A and B are shown apart, each in its own frame.
Chain A
Amino acid sequence: MTMRHHSGSEKISDLLNGLRRDIITMAEHSGHVGVALSCVDILAALYADVMNCTPATVESPERDRFVLSKGHGCMALYAVLARMGFIDRHVLATYGHNGSILAEHPIAGKVAGVECATGTLGHGLAIGAGMAAGIKLQGLGARVFVLLGDGECNEGSVWEAAALASSDRLDNLVAIVDCNSLQACGACDEVSPGVRLADCWRGFGWEVEEADGHDYRELVQALGRPAGAGKPRVVLCRTVKGRGVDFMEGDLEWHYRPVMGDDREKALKGLADA
């Protein structure tokens, strides 16, 4: 399979592997590597094969928009934006450094492709829904994609936004939940036992779909599927925190730990051999 927007010559598996190597390299001085690795396949599918947004159309009112509501996953976004030509790949090396435009949570107005600043959880869906509403009011055809974490769905403001989007029949809005099952201090179903996310979204009037968040073809189909008229759509993506680096997968430790020294070498070697 080749990508729609990218060079067309690079295999998807090579792209995804390369993105993971970029993330490991960026993560030398900061945490959240596990988060970036769980959502990077989703972002790649969006930018390479789903969204109508390229470096040439990034200012166009007709472009599809993406909001990274789980702003702490931004290493994945920066890596994808660099591979897709929105930003210079050399800028990735400045991630988290003094004076860099690539902060550890995205800053507004600095990075092409970053529609708004995020980092405080529970804000992105309302902003994305407002964008979708504004787009419809102006008679435009663009779509808005918002990526949330399953832990982030603890926030009450997520459900305020979910209700607003449903009430306003925003069928140009797609929420994506990175369901890696782990939040900052434990498993999601230990923190919120009894909460069934699919039922919650359905109860708020959304069209619900589930997908393997690491199966590229399945992601492209699920994310790109047109919505039923008058309903916003959510895709619950089953993912693994730390996916792609064997000693990080499913280990909460890597929500926080920078990837340094031997860990860095081991992770990069594992990806090179994959």
Chain B
Amino acid sequence: MRDAFFSELYNLFRHDRRVVFLTGDLGYKLFDQLREHDPARVINCGIREAGMVGYAAGMAKAGLLPFVYSITPFVTLRCLEQIKIDLCYNKANVVVVGVGGGFAYGPNGSTHHGVDDIGALSCLPQMKIWTPADSHEVRLCVREAASLDSPAYLRLGRNKEPHVFKSLESTPDISKPVVVQEGTDGTIVTCGFILHETLKAVAMLNQVGIHPAVVRIATLRPFPEEYLRTVVAGGGPFLTVEEHVATGGLGQETARIIAEEGRGNRFRMLAIPMKFPDACYDRETLLARSGLDAQGIATVYRQLWSAACCKAQ
């Protein structure tokens, strides 16, 4: 996802002179191509994330389109107030790019995990949040940035995420939820690159005769409220899957809608437990320990489906 981001940013950078790239001293060698093309529009702000976000806000106010880049927690929680005041309150169209959402930086530890970014940023009016599922969708987000009319946050993984979609044409409109896999046995809703793990879980479920539909959300804020209300109206069971803590995330929003609609949908929420990991683990292990690997997702969905079937009888 990271390489796709820089590749697509280069395409935009060459053609749109408003685009400025600011980094908090991270991304070694990754922005060389940008710098070779126009060094004046590439600024290493140093390890000064708060200053960088304010700086970008001023540039946006002067008519430019800045992208600010760092590892997820540093470019979100570290400078949250700058994002709130300088970008959101001041309506400065800046793209905040966090590399390493969720557990992508697994063995680096909790300092580098981005498991609370969405919740924190979801409190801020004006903020658009993109959670692309693969490299193709990352490219679509960067393209959409060219016509941005609000600040936005782009949540990247690292660089190991597999393709989920065949091409950019698979999900051309990232502003709307997409049914990635049709199904008749309830719905799994997910956002971001955990979609890949979710699809593996669905393959396991298919083998035992359970066929949930899978919906992915790439633009998480503004939340696709009306779409979800329509799906909830069918009354079927719902599972949400997110590589994020529950607070402020996809699951809580979905639960709210289910409660408000009052159709009695069976519901489960899979999110990262609210505790710091007790030791060093890679992403795969952290997902498994959180019940967010394919096996964990499939197990919870089977329970949910069984309960829904019992209720129906």
Contacts and interface: CB of A to CB of B under 8 A. Distances in A.
Contacts of B51: 126, 157, 160-161, 163-164
Q: Which of B58, B64, B90 has the most CB of A within 10 A?
A: B58
Nearest to B49: A160
Contacts of B54: 123, 125-127, 129-130, 157, 161
B57 A127 contact: yes
B168 interface: no
Interface stretch (B38-46, B176-184, B196-204, B230-238): B38-46
Q: Which of A108, A126, A157, A168 has the most CB of B within 10 A?
A: A126
A221 interface: no
B120 interface: no
Given A61-B63, A123-B86, A157-B82, A133 B46 contact: no
Contacts of B58: 126-134, 144
Interface residues on B, range: 20 to 34
B50 A108 contact: no
Interface string B74-91: 000000011001100111
Contacts of B61: 115-116, 127, 130-131, 134
A130 B90 contact: no
A250 B82 CA distance: 32
Q: Which of B51, B61, B85, B86 has the most CB of A within 10 A?
A: B51
B54 to A, nearest CB: 3
A129 B58 CA distance: 7
Binding site of B, secondary structure by majority: helix, strand, loop or mixed? helix
A130 B85 contact: no
A108 B89 contact: yes
A94 interface: no
Given A108-B89, A134-B61, A164-B48, A123 B82 contact: yes
A138 interface: yes
A196 B90 CA distance: 32
Given A117-B85, A129-B55, A134 B64 contact: yes
Nearest to B62: A134
B78 to A, nearest CB: 11
Interface string A147-179: 000000000110011011001100000000000
A96 to B, nearest CB: 19
A224 interface: no
A130 B57 contact: yes
A126 B54 CA distance: 5
A69 to B, nearest CB: 10
B210 to A, nearest CB: 51
Interface in B51-77: 51-64, 66
Nearest to A125: B54
Interface residues of A, number: 32
Nearest to B89: A117
Contact of A160 (B48, B62, B81, B89): B48
A161 B63 contact: no
Contact of B50 (A128, A130, A157): A157
Given A123-B86, A127-B61, A161 B46 contact: no
Contact of A164 (B20, B46, B90, B91): B46
Q: Which of A119, A130, A135, A137 has the most CB of B within 10 A?
A: A130
Q: Which of A120, A133, A161, A168 has the most CB of B within 10 A?
A: A133
Contacts of A164: 45-46, 48, 51-52, 55
B170 to A, nearest CB: 37
Nearest to A140: B62
Given A109-B91, A167-B46, A131 B62 contact: yes
A245 B89 CA distance: 35
Contacts of B59: 130-131, 133-134, 137
Contacts of A135: 62
A137 B45 CA distance: 16
Contacts of A157: 50-51, 54, 82
Nearest to A155: B50
Nearest to A133: B59
Nearest to A126: B54
Contact of B85 (A120, A129, A132, A138): A120
Interface string A97-129: 000000000001100000111111001011111
15 contacts: A109-B91, A119-B85, A120-B85, A127-B55, A127-B58, A127-B61, A130-B54, A130-B62, A130-B66, A133-B43, A133-B59, A134-B62, A135-B62, A144-B58, A164-B52
What 5 A-B pairs come out closest when comparing CB atoms?
A: A130-B58, A126-B54, A134-B62, A160-B51, A160-B48
